[in-house]
Amino acid sequence: MLTPDLLHAYQQKAVNFQATHPESMLWLDMGLGKTVITLTSIAHLIRTQYLRGVLIVAPIRVIRLVWKQEAAKWSHTGHLKFSMITGTRDQRTRALLRPADIYLLNYENLGWMAETLHTYFISKGKEIPFNGIVWDEVSKMKNSATQRVKSFKKVIDHFIWSTGLTGTPASNGYKDLHGQYLVVDKGVRLGTSKTAFRHRFYKKAGPYKEVPYEDTETTIKQLIGDITLEMSAEDYNPLPDLMVNNIEIEMPSNLRDKYDQMEKEFFLLLDSGTEVEMFNQASLTNKCLQFANGAMYPVPGMPLWEPIHELKLDALEEIIDEAQGSPVLCSYAYRSDAQRIMAKFKHLDPINLTDCKSEASLNNAMWRWKSGNCELMIGHPASMGHGIDGLQDNGHTVVWFGLNWSLDLYEQMNARVRRQGQGVPVVCHRILMRDTLDQAQALALDEKAQTQAGLRNAIKEYRRSRGQ
């Protein structure tokens, strides 16, 4: 049994699971140490010569800020040599050809990687530099119909060890699982065809809707249970309570009339005289959400926006006042939201963490938050999910100025402050415009969370029933 002295017992359990399963999926909540767990497994498997190298595929921020830095913290992983495959095509190629234990690649370059492996190695009968692969945030591969999945299927047989890491395996329901398990187990358990998967586990519930069969969860649990390890943070290190507070705002009648007209006619005349036309349902949905937040982009793809109201800004002001100087973390949906928030609360010298592109600016932002010199920090959830830690040290309030449809981003954003080290209950304020798509988003997220929780519990019961 592999038991590095500094790891917790639950981390050692996960290491042993990875190290003894050529194919594995770890459903780990944020804060449980998935990075050090996986690095420990890799170090062991390279030392025993089972693996000659490992490719880690992760979001760009993560490969830049997390893996190499985490390895350097531990005596049993500090010796691992890294090669970061980023930059131009020539720079990426040189990094791929450089001897290393671990190669770091962002998801956007998967297609290039498959092509380059064929060119330099497979077509010439040579071994590729790695025969193990880690999918960090494997939920990014949930859609097996995407080009990145199709491209990588061509080289997937060259890997003898594969592990997927995620805290949100089924944020949109069971369909999310197909692509994730396909890249981990090569389609053994859930098949290689997305169409066949849907026919097997879903039934028609109208002309455009599918719902899972009554036994779908049970069947999937039985199929994937042998390679899936589920660990919830609360099972090992109890987390503080998360209290969700929906702040519902009523539109004044003049705004309500405009909103209702826009939904009905796919057209809106702004007070400035600018005409906004929506050509399909997707465009209408986006414009409705912008309207609810208080600003709208009249021309798709153009950075110019026009203000509509300040109702959500007023609600945010009340939250900040009630916090009485305690740091508030606010998530925004659109760039217009960020600009309006930064202008409204200029006197607080707020920080937009999404704009902290350099390590120095990020470190300064984190120092201000932890030292109590920041009353308001904002960020887009897509940039807040990875590589940022320490917000739990001096804050317990999260505000959603505007939601999104992604459960992954929603849970990861909340977990910035609700994680190990947080000593008080966390309050999550969701500012919602009543009787708009705002409320529909909130309801959709809550339903997704229930589905995912059910599946995670099913996997947990599967392993418990087998004494694992």
Q: What is the pLDDT of residue 223?
A: 95
pLDDT band per the 50, 70, 90 thresholds, residue 457: confident
pLDDT tens across 143-197, in order? 877 888 888 888 999 999 999 999 888 888 888 999 999 999 999 999 999 899 9
Angle between helices 437-465 and 281-293 (to 10 degrees): 100
User: Does position 366 have pLDDT exceeding 50, yes or no?
Assistant: yes
Q: What is the pLDDT of residue 242?
A: 86
User: Does position 407 have pLDDT exceeding 90, yes or no?
Assistant: no
Judge contact between 7 and 40, C-beta under 8 A.
Answer: yes
Q: What is the pLDDT of residue 386?
A: 59
pLDDT band per the 50, 70, 90 thresholds, residue 392: confident
- Distances 402 to 48, 331, 385, 441 between C-alpha atoms, Å: 50, 7, 16, 9
| Mean per-residue pLDDT over the chain, rounded | 90
Q: What is the pLDDT of residue 33?
A: 87
User: Does position 65 have pLDDT exceeding 90, yes or no?
Assistant: no
User: Does position 426 have pLDDT exceeding 50, yes or no?
Assistant: yes
pLDDT band per the 50, 70, 90 thresholds, residue 1: very low
Write down all domains in the chain, each with its CATH number in brackets. 9-237 (3.40.50.10810), 242-449 (3.40.50.300)
Structure-token match 């939201």, residue found: 337
Helices (H), 209-332: 216-224, 233-236, 253-265, 281-293, 311-323
Q: What percentage of the chain reaches a pLDDT higher than 90?
A: 59
Containing H/E element for 448?
A: helix 437-465
- Complete DSSP assignment for 392-437: GGS--EEEESS--S-HHHHHHHHTTTSSTT--S-EEEEEEEETTSH
Give the C-alpha separation, 308 to 186, whole Å: 50
Q: What is the pLDDT of residue 167?
A: 87
Judge contact between 332 and 399, C-beta under 8 A.
Answer: no
Judge contact between 398 and 413, C-beta under 8 A.
Answer: yes
Give the residue with greater pLDDT, 320 vs 237.
320
List of long-range contacts for 446-455, beta carbons under 8 Å, 24+ apart: 448/171, 448/172, 448/173, 448/407, 449/407, 449/411, 451/170, 451/173, 451/174, 452/168, 452/169, 452/170, 452/171, 452/407, 454/217, 455/169, 455/170, 455/174, 455/217, 455/220, 455/221
Give the residue with greater pLDDT, 78 vs 233.
78
Q: What is the pLDDT of residue 121?
A: 95
pLDDT tens across 208-258, in order? 788 899 999 999 999 999 999 998 877 776 777 889 999 999 999 999 999
Q: What is the pLDDT of residue 387?
A: 57
Give the C-alpha separation, 39 to 354, whole Å: 28
Among 107, 90, 93, 189, smallest CA distance to 146 is for 107
Least confident of 65-79, 148-162, 384-398, 424-438: 384-398
> What's the mean pLDDT in 321-327?
89
User: Does position 300 have pLDDT exceeding 80, yes or no?
Assistant: no
Cα 14-16-19 angle, rounded to 5 deg: 110
SS3 14: helix
Exposed / middle / buried, residue 126 (Cβ in 10 Å: 0-12, 13-18, 19+): exposed
Question: Parallel, antiparallel, or unpaired for β 102-106 and 132-136?
Answer: unpaired
Give the C-alpha separation, 35 to 442, whole Å: 31
Q: What is the pLDDT of residue 131?
A: 97
